[in-house]
């Protein structure tokens, strides 16, 4: 599968039993653009990310990756282009940070440059001093940094980030914003959910507001022009209407 | 094919490394298997020595009970940090994931055998003449049990009461393995020409069961691990 340059959800519906989590969501993510997905708890953000990550099957509708339906693509090749950072760290507590990254790197088929990539990522996320300690001894912020390193390890084209700033200290927040900006410049497609408007606004090219499983408002911004006030206005304008 | 084998090896090596570091699974399982044999031996204290039917039964019951304890815990560990999802999100084939989990269970049950067989020798006076045939039965029985357990262990996902569901699903489906293993072991221990022919029949039965379970596992693992 060639480089992913567009992801499009078309009328995605997701039901959990009798509960409808998503009601016909359509969106388009483009290369080198960052989309911020806003919404209250339970709006369906994590479900949408799960569907885009191919982990959750939509009840109806479809997701096109580079113009192709997910079912028509080789699953391994597609998943190799996706990175998902979620609430859970998804690393093995009894292994060190380095061993975890080495393991996931091997799963993603990184071979020749694996050690180099692991070492540089550990350094980049600020875990060099703790790289060989068991992960179960890490603080919440360190775990989040490790999860970030695991997500970026295979240089995914589609980056799905569910509340990525959770647990990070001020330095961690700055670091993450830098890394995400780098990924965006590299041409990755970013979809970020966050309640922290101040932090995500500088990264935002497109904002979508999800409410009760529907996209009820959206806005586009020229690079670097989005502010937290505008994102807040997007949320409140819809509520007033 | 080479990439597939490498994926299985990477996944299996990770499971072994995690267990070597944590140690919780292997020690608990081995201790439990020794206790099972010991408890059964109490039933025959002071009475006549247990028959080979009983010995064969204790071997397979010990394997099934201790094996299930280890299997439940090994999958629970993958769920605690949600690492199972990370594996499902990675580009490894579901078949590689299934085979690696199955081989991990096999290794655990082989370790259980290393405790149960000497314990049976000590407490039940088990004397094995046809060790090759018995090891063949154990290998095929373990493979069949693991093929079923790996499928359900991973696919129960976030189901509530999954610790309860796993044995409820696995034990009934592995009744043929336990039956063939017990009858086959009895036939091997009995040691007559006719009983050895019976043992060979049970071996063939296990071979067919294993092939079927493995094929079903490889075929069903992907749809059964698809989330929601």
Q: Tell me the pLDDT tens digit for each residue of A102-112.
A: 999 999 988 88
Mean pLDDT across chain B, nearest whole number? Answer: 88
Q: Check whether residue A180 and residue A169 sit in a common domain.
A: yes
A241–chain B nearest CA distance, Å: 34
- A106 within domain boundaries: yes
A80 touching chain B per CB within 8 A: yes
A80–chain B nearest CA distance, Å: 5
Phi then psi for residue A40, to 5 deg, are -70, 170
Could you tell me which of A206, A213, A169 has the C-alpha nearest to residue A29? A206
Q: Indicate yes or no: CB of B3 within 8 angstroms of CB of A93.
A: no
Q: Check whether residue A160 and residue A220 sit in a common domain.
A: yes
> What is the rounded distance in angstroms from the CA atom of residue A220 to the CA atom of residue A207?
6
- A1 within domain boundaries: no
Q: Which chain B residues have a beta carbon less than 8 Å from that of A50?
A: 227
Residue A89: how many other CB atoms lie within 10 Å: 25
Q: Tell me the pLDDT tens digit for each residue of A34-50.
A: 999 998 888 889 999 99
Share of chain B above pLDDT 70, in %: 96
The answer, yes or no, to whether residue B228 has pLDDT greater than 60, is no
Look at residue B157 in the predicted model and tell me its pLDDT: 63
Q: Indicate yes or no: CB of A107 within 8 angstroms of CB of B7.
A: yes
Burial category of B226 from C-beta neighbours within 10 Å (exposed 0-12, middle 13-18, buried 19 and up): middle
The answer, yes or no, to whether residue B9 has pLDDT greater than 90, is yes
Residues A194 and A4 sit within 8 Å (Cβ to Cβ): no
Instruction: Give how far Cα B62 sits from Cα of A173, B102, B110, B115, Å.
Output: 53, 19, 12, 10
Q: Among residues A114, A133, A155, which one ends one of the domains?
A: A155
> For residue B89, what is the nearest residue in chain A, using CA coordinates?
A79
Look at residue B165 in the predicted model and tell me its pLDDT: 84
| CATH number, domain containing residue A19 | 3.40.50.300
- Least confident stretch, A88-97, A178-187, B41-50: B41-50
Q: Indicate yes or no: CB of B91 within 8 angstroms of CB of A108.
A: yes
Q: Check whether residue A124 and residue A195 sit in a common domain.
A: no
A165 touching chain B per CB within 8 A: no
- A86 within domain boundaries: no
> What is the rounded distance in angstroms from the CA atom of residue A56 to the CA atom of residue B89?
10
> Structure tokens of B96?
């590689």
Q: Check whether residue A58 and residue A169 sit in a common domain.
A: yes
Domain residues for the domain of A107 are 94-155
β A206-211/A189-193 pair status: unpaired
Q: Check whether residue A197 and residue A106 sit in a common domain.
A: no
Q: Give the neighbor-by-neighbor strand order of the sheet with A82-85.
A: A82-85, A158-162, A189-193, A34-38, A206-211, A214-220
Q: Among residues A133, A155, A177, which one ends one of the domains?
A: A155
Look at residue A123 in the predicted model and tell me its pLDDT: 93
Q: Among residues A126, A155, A184, which one ends one of the domains?
A: A155
> Structure tokens of B199?
């043992």
B12–chain A nearest CA distance, Å: 11
Q: Indicate yes or no: CB of B81 within 8 angstroms of CB of A134.
A: no
Length, in residues, of chain B: 228
> What is the rounded distance in angstroms from the CA atom of residue B4 to the CA atom of residue B12?
12
Q: What is the distance between the terminal CA atoms of chain B, rounded to a whole angstrom?
A: 30
Residue A160: how many other CB atoms lie within 10 Å: 29
A21: helix, strand or coil: strand
- Least confident stretch, B1-5, B115-119, B193-197: B1-5
Which of A76, A77, A95, A96 is the best substitution to test chain B (most B C-beta atoms within 10 A)? Answer: A76
Q: Check whether residue A224 and residue A113 sit in a common domain.
A: no
Q: Which residue has the tokens 């970030």?
A: A148
Q: Check whether residue A133 and residue A166 sit in a common domain.
A: no
The total of structural domains in chain B comes to 1
Q: Which chain B residues have a beta carbon less than 8 Å from that of A74?
A: none
The answer, yes or no, to whether residue B227 has pLDDT greater than 70, is no
DSSP letter for each residue of A91-119: S-TTSBHHHHHHHHHHHTT--TTHHHHHH
CA dihedral B70, B72, B75, B80 (to 10 degrees): -110
> For residue B82, what is the nearest residue in chain A, using CA coordinates?
A90
Look at residue A2 in the predicted model and tell me its pLDDT: 59
Chain A with chain B: Cβ pairs closer than 8 A: 72
Q: Check whether residue A188 and residue A151 sit in a common domain.
A: no
B75–chain A nearest CA distance, Å: 13
B13–chain A nearest CA distance, Å: 9
> Structure tokens of A166?
């959770």
Q: Indicate yes or no: CB of B81 within 8 angstroms of CB of A82.
A: no
Q: Tell me the pLDDT tens digit for each residue of B190-207.
A: 888 898 999 999 999 999
Q: Tell me the pLDDT tens digit for each residue of B142-191.
A: 999 999 998 888 777 666 677 788 888 889 999 999 999 999 999 998 88
> For residue A154, what is the nearest residue in chain B, using CA coordinates?
B90
Residues A165 and A194 sit within 8 Å (Cβ to Cβ): yes
The total of structural domains in chain A comes to 2
Q: Which chain B residues have a beta carbon less than 8 Å from that of A95?
A: 14, 17-18, 21
Q: Would you place residue A5 in the very low, low, confident or very high pLDDT band (cuts 50, 70, 90)? A: confident
Share of chain A above pLDDT 70, in %: 97
Q: Would you place residue A167 in the very low, low, confident or very high pLDDT band (cuts 50, 70, 90)? A: confident
Q: Which chain B residues have a beta carbon less than 8 Å from that of A16?
A: 228
Which of A15, A16, A90 is the best substitution to test chain B (most B C-beta atoms within 10 A)? Answer: A90
A209–chain B nearest CA distance, Å: 24
Domain residues for the domain of B108 are 2-225
Which of B83, B96, B154, B223 is the best substitution to test chain A (most A C-beta atoms within 10 A)? Answer: B83
> What is the rounded distance in angstroms from the CA atom of residue A64 to the CA atom of residue B220?
25
> What is the rounded distance in angstroms from the CA atom of residue B85 to the CA atom of residue B90?
9
β A68-69/A82-85 pair status: unpaired
A209: helix, strand or coil: strand
Look at residue A1 in the predicted model and tell me its pLDDT: 58
DSSP state letter for A153: T
Look at residue B84 in the predicted model and tell me its pLDDT: 86
Q: Check whether residue A174 and residue A216 sit in a common domain.
A: yes
B14–chain A nearest CA distance, Å: 7
Q: Which chain A residues have a beta carbon less than 8 Å from that of B228?
A: 16, 56-57
Q: Indicate yes or no: CB of A92 within 8 angstroms of CB of B81.
A: yes
Phi then psi for residue B178, to 5 deg, are -65, -40
């Amino acid at each position: 599968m060639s480089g992913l340059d567009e992801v499009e959800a078309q009328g995605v519906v997701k039901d959990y039993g009798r509960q409808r989590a998503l009601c016909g969501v359509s969106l388009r993510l483009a290369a080198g653009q960052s989309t911020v997905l806003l919404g209250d708890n339970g709006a369906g953000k994590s479900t949408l990310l799960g569907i885009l990550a191919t982990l959750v099957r939509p009840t109806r509708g479809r997701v096109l990756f580079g113009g192709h339906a997910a079912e028509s693509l080789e699953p391994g090749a597609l998943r190799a282009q996706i990175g998902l950072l979620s609430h859970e760290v998804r690393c093995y507590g009894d292994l060190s940070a380095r061993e975890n990254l080495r393991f996931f790197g091997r799963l993603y088929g990184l071979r020749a440059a694996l050690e180099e990539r692991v070492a540089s990522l550990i350094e980049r996320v600020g875990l060099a001093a703790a790289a060989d300690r068991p992960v179960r001894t890490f603080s919440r912020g360190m775990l989040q940094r490790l999860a970030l390193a695991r997500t970026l390890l295979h240089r995914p084209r589609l980056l799905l980030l569910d509340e990525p700033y959770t647990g990070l200290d001020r330095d961690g927040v700055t670091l993450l914003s830098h890394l995400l900006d780098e990924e965006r410049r590299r041409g990755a497609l970013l979809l970020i959910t966050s309640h922290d408007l101040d932090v995500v606004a500088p990264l935002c090219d497109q904002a979508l507001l999800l409410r009760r499983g529907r996209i009820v408002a959206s806005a586009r911004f020229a690079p670097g022009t989005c502010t937290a006030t505008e994102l807040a206005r997007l949320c409140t304008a819809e509520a007033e209407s | 094919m080479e990439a597939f084998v490498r994926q299985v090896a990477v996944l299996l090596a990770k499971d072994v490394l995690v267990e070597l570091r944590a140690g919780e699974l292997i020690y608990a399982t081995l201790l439990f298997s020794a206790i099972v044999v010991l408890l059964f031996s109490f039933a025959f204290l002071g009475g006549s020595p247990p028959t080979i039917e009983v010995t064969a039964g204790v071997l397979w019951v010990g394997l099934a009970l201790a094996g299930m304890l280890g299997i439940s815990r090994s999958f629970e560990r993958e769920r605690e940090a949600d690492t199972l999802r990370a594996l499902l999100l990675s580009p490894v084939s579901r078949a590689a994931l299934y085979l690696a989990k199955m081989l991990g269970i096999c290794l655990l049950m082989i370790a259980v055998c290393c405790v149960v067989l000497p314990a049976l020798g000590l407490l039940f006076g088990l004397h094995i003449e046809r060790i090759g045939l018995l090891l063949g039965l154990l290998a095929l029985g373990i493979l069949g049990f693991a093929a079923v357990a790996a499928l359900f262990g991973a696919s129960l996902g976030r189901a509530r009461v999954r610790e309860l569901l796993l044995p409820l699903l696995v034990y009934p489906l592995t009744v043929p393995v336990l039956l063939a293993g017990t009858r086959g072991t009895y036939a091997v221990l009995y040691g007559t020409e006719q009983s050895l022919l019976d043992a060979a029949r049970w071996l063939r039965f296990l071979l067919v069961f294993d092939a079927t379970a493995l094929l079903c596992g490889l075929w069903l693992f992907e749809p059964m691990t698809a989330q929601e």
